[in-house]
Structure 1
Amino acid sequence: GQYRAALEENDLGIASEVRMLAEASELGLLTIGFCFNLPEARRNEVLSKLAQGVDDLSISRSTLDWGIEMPNDPEHRVYVWIDALSNYITALGFPAVGDADDGARMKYWPANVQLIGKDILWFHTVYWPCMLMALDVELPQTVFAHGWWTSEGKKMSKSLGNFISREVIAELCEEYSRDVFRYFVLREVPFGLDGDFSREALKRRYNAELANDVGNLLSRTVNMVERYFDGVVPAPAEQALTGQEAEFMADPLTRLQDGAEEIMAGCQFSEYVRAALDLVTAANRYIDTTEPFKLAKDPAQRDRVGTILYTCAETVRIVLSALAPIMPEKTEAGLKQLGLAGADPRPLHEVFRWGGLAPGTQVAKAGPLFPRKQ
């Protein structure tokens, strides 16, 4: 309210407001309440354009015979972007008019992430915040501009007939599952950048990361628990990661624990998946080095084998829990093989705390979570 009053008192228009927004962004004053826009390259585009100077914006047009009439001048129509941007909050009942409106839907505003196409970035990061601040309405916490996809290395077009249509997506989901398709589009390209979609890339990433790495770690862990401990998760010698377990698992686990929530909040989905996969890679190397399948032949090594297999099972729990927001159905099926009901609803930093899998849990061996594609 004080901000708006200061603008009105000093007869400052949108140009001054935009300049103040840009200066505040440069000083880092908007990074908490309003992340000017992500990714960083998009933010720089806007700031560069702002540096060239901005004129005041007319909110009406007199050259159109369509659109919403200005209430004070029927010869003018509301500028389309004023109309369009307003829908984000008018659809939620703003402003409250009449007794029938209880304002309940305004609980959905401000948005924590407002996702837009990069071609309409200017309107959402310049016009939109100015409109909201003039109305004394809270800003979205983040405006994130996504990139475009090409198809098999070429721009999608009707003449080429290479659109990734709804029917194509449905076909891919039938072949791989909805979870895998979602995993691929979030993993293949850093979110916000342009990327290329190809069936070969989908199959290659599916086989390498999901079938060979995640699925294989789950399968070999459950199989060894079944074989050497009658399907019951053994207790480790130490609850904390120590010795050889810490040597392999501590660093990737710490990176995931410390960075996951910030990475997800920044919409860095590919980076988030990579952090989970680093843990998978470490666990597979850990198994190859410790060779529990050989140690199990010696009864005197039973406790050592138990520690190794608990470490593997707990790692699988954390990895599947990390991937649950992206692949909810597949990870639920995987967690059930570990004897767990499904995804843990707690915050990530609690879910990733080491020791969440209780010794004595009965595993449930099943088929491959990610059968390899030929």
Structure 2
Amino acid sequence: MKKFPRVVWDPSRLLANAAFLDRLCHQQKNSVGWIPVTKVTCADPDIVGTLIRQGYDSFADSRIENLRRIKQMSSSCQTTLLRLPGLHEVAEVVRYADISLVSEQDTIAALQREAQRDNRRHKIILMIELGDLREGVCTQHALEMGRFILEQDHIEWLGIGTNLTCYGGVIPTADIMLELTGLKARIETELGHALTIVSGGNSSLLPLLLEQRLPPGINQLRLGEALFFGRETAYGRHIAGMHEDIFRLEAEVIEVKEKPSVPKGTLGKNAFGETPVFRDRGIHTRAIIALGEQDVPVADLSPFDPNISILGGSSDHLILDVTGCDIKVGDVLSFRLNYRALLYAMTSGYVGKHKLTEEEIGSCVS
């Protein structure tokens, strides 16, 4: 039985986007690799499994629960924890994350103790603050932190990395990337420790790759939005040759009636403590679908049918203007999702997830 609302996704388009990123990285003058970031899909087993069967064996995610799921699917996959580990979860980090991103001595010391207790070595990438003001050690303290890392006999220091755009909106430039590779050279010279990974960042680095301007030495990218939405995140532009429409959200119509467009009576606040504003459209046809803010932020949806417009919603209902459309109760309507809407929908236990079959893909009209 079909479950609605549901996220529907196309595995052929997902694999086409992954292959595009492979080619893009291979076209660079210097060796660059990329890791699929699965957090927007909550490491959905069907999605991760599709990538694993295609030969991808390294994944990154911000939640240890998702990395545990990936390890349970394939213990040979290399997993990277993107969010800095919390001290409460170091046992799970050492167990389920092969690599973690770090910036605090206390965290590194806790990982060292847990790795020693578990009789294994835990790999880390030291994050460097380069202007976006999220996680990372300031460059002037990187050598001091490096000396501390090298004192830990159960910690394997793989490299350095940075994150831009996600918080401060800082655009990655060639100059910023050169600052990162320059720091790598200083570490290797002054501390005598070879670093194998310089992780330059996320999908906001795609413009540098597309323009062949990524400096030599940046050899790892962490890509989620580019993979799943065919978009770079520095300027929010679609990447020609990639699919933007791997995912869609489907929901069922549960009421269709002609009603006024402005509520009657004294108006107060709505279910979310907001004072709504209404435009008088006269009597029109309104549809309600079984979908609400508890499932996705409805403002981040857009109907595939250009004749349908979203009027608003509550926790469990989305109100649409369907005037002039042939819509009835029981119909299923489709919506485009942006990154945030997909993240909410994949996280929600109330929203089903459906992988299109080859037959369904063949019957779809692009």
Determine if the TM-score, normalized by the shorter chain, exceeds 0.5: no
Q: Is the helix fraction higher in 1 or 2?
A: 1
Higher relative contact order at CA 8 Å, sep ≥6: structure 1 or structure 2?
A: 2
Q: Which has the larger radius of gyration?
A: 1
Higher strand residue share: 2
TM range (shorter): under 0.3
User: What is the TM-score when the length of structure 2 is the normalising length?
Assistant: 0.21
